[in-house]
Structures are given as structure tokens and as C-alpha cells.
Amino acid sequence: MFTIAHERPSDAAGIEQLLDLSFGADRTAKTVYKLRHNVAPLDALSFVALEAGEIKGTLRFWPVQIGEAEVPALLLGPLAVHPDERGRAMGLALMKHALDEATRLGHRIVILVGDAPYYAKVGFYRAGAVDLQLPGWVDEARFLARALVPGALEGVAGMVRSINPETATVAPRKQAARR
């Protein structure tokens, strides 16, 4: 059985390997990586799925802001599960765990680019992102959003931009738990 834990600094190399394996080494050319450029993922929302001490899954979030109103939000991803471990609900477990924690920490909106039928399982939908834009090309059908608090997406519109976590309205916390 796998467990979910906060990412540790020593997990970084294993996570890079898993991301290369899952998305290819050219993944950073994608539009969403513009929102990650020179910005660290949020420590408090960076998780790994572990089995027998090995990293089998990874999920991170980046802070972003939306529109002229600079509404704070989270960019979900990358999410990856090792090819040998797929179909065990590890991806969904990582997301449920992280989204619960994000809600607990006071975050209100999450956006992502990904397969709509998969992310619908944890509440993401296309209509939530229909008034939002990303800073580059994206297959719009894959651009999704979810409110963590009812009504949080109402009236939210505009370009998604990267944000310095130090100035985020909901400040990221330092890594809360260690293993």
C-alpha cells in the first residue's frame, strides 16, 4: 500500500526523473511552465506517493494570480504516477489529499491544464476557466478550474500570471510535516 507524504528536499532528483519519464524532457516548453518560471512550488502543497521508500507519484502546486484584480489561485501540477503503478488510484489520492490541504490552508481557486474526464473526478470543469486566459497557446478544452470555496470563481476573469509566493494573499507555509 502506498502512503502520501510531504515532499522533502532530497526527493527532488527522484521527482525530476519521474517527470521526465511521464512527460518527456521537453515538458518545460509548455505554456503552463511560463507560470512556473523562476517561481518555486509551494512547499506546503508538494506531495509524493511512496511505496517501500520509493517515490511512485508526485504532485506540486504553483501560486498564480488572475486578472486585473490579481485574484490569488493555485496552478495544479505537474501530477505524475510511475507507469508501473498507474490505475491504483494513486493520482486521485494525491489530488484529494492536496486539495483538502489547500482548502484547509485557505486557498480558494485551483486551475490546471489536463484531461477533463480525469480531473472531473475531483471537481474540475471547463466552465470554471472559460473567462480565464493563459499566457500562451493551450488546448482550451483542457483548461479547467475548480473553486475550493463555493462561489470563489464568480466574477473572476482575465489573464493568469505567475506570482511571487512571498506576496501571495494566502502565504504558503513552510513545510509542515516531515517524515
Ligand X SMILES: CC(C)(COP(=O)(O)OP(=O)(O)OC[C@H]1O[C@@H](n2cnc3c(N)ncnc32)[C@H](O)[C@@H]1OP(=O)(O)O)[C@@H](O)C(=O)NCCC(=O)NCCS
Query: Which residues contribute to the site for ligand X (CB under 6 A)?
Result: 22-23, 77, 79-81, 86-92, 114-115, 117-118, 121
Show Cβ contacts of residue 99 under 8 Å, excluding neighbours closer than 6 positions: 110, 122, 123, 146, 148
3-class DSSP state of 161: strand
Which residue, 72 or 91, is less far from ligand X as judged by CB? 91
Give the shortest CB-19-to-ligand X separation in angstroms: 8
Give the shortest CB-50-to-ligand X separation in angstroms: 14
Give the shortest CB-91-to-ligand X separation in angstroms: 3
Bridge partners of residue 49, in order along the sequence: 4, 57
CA pair distance 163, 143, nearest whole angstrom: 19
Which residue, 104 or 121, is less far from ligand X as judged by CB? 121
Long-range CB contacts (< 8 A, 24+ apart) of 16-24? 18/55, 18/57, 18/58, 18/80, 18/82, 19/58, 19/78, 19/80, 21/80, 21/82, 21/83, 22/78, 22/80, 22/81, 22/82, 22/83, 23/78, 23/80
Which residue, 7 or 168, is less far from ligand X as judged by CB? 7
Give the shortest CB-160-to-ligand X separation in angstroms: 17
Which residue, 44 or 113, is less far from ligand X as judged by CB? 113
* Cell 513552510 found at: 174
Give the shortest CB-89-to-ligand X separation in angstroms: 4
Which residue, 50 or 157, is less far from ligand X as judged by CB? 50
